[in-house]
A = this chain, B = another copy of it.
Amino acid sequence: MGITERKESDKEVMRKKILNSAMKLFLSEGYDKVSIRKIADAIEYSPATVYLYFKDKTAIFNALQKIAFDKFYDTLAECLKIKDAKKRLDEMGELYMKFAMENPEYYDLMFIMSAPIDREKETCFMDDRAFNLLSGTIEEVFKKKEIKNIDVEAATFLLWGFSHGFASLIIRKRLAMIPDEHLKGLFQKISRMLDKKFFQ
């Protein structure tokens, strides 16, 4: 059935067209200021057409969140080329912060934005892949250094929690009065502190 297949792929092309425009608009204007009409304008179709490909604005949000998580994981996974677990852990912290600072809209999409709570049962918190990458690395460090009195889960949430807290405060401009350079130094200083106390 070549025809139904082609139709399916046509539909996929249109979906991607919509997502592409939506993402571009989100990155330049922010989620709230992007309307269905603006997306429709960008792809040169009517607003109603968008609803033939996505149930509502939330569905577009969810599709974009998935794209963001993919990019996020790809960025973090860069650390896998580092063999030494402790050095890899350091690099992950740097990459996490770098990603958040360079892609604040993606970061917002993934971890901050309040998405309408339709989901409830879907597994959409921190991407499983990224989470496992972090906790796996921490476990490796603990094994190597024969650290046994610290819970891997607790250590994972400490590192992620702090990194996310710091990143989200910056993105939502709650540390706007502190110069960027100082914030960067602060993050690195705290990272080193944590490293010294927990991982050696």
Contact = CB atoms under 8 A, between A and B. Distances in A.
B174 A126 contact: yes
A161 B160 CA distance: 10
Interface in A104-135: 111-114, 117, 120, 123, 125-126
A133 B134 CA distance: 33
A199 to B, nearest CB: 11
A161 B170 CA distance: 11
A7 interface: no
Contact of A165 (B30, B160, B190, B198): B160
Given A117-B173, A177-B125, A150 B193 contact: yes
A142 to B, nearest CB: 13
| Binding site secondary structure of chain A | helix
A162 interface: yes
Nearest to A176: B125
A123 B177 contact: yes
A51 interface: no
Interface in A146-198: 150-151, 153-155, 157-158, 160-166, 168-169, 172-177, 186, 189-190, 193-194, 197-198
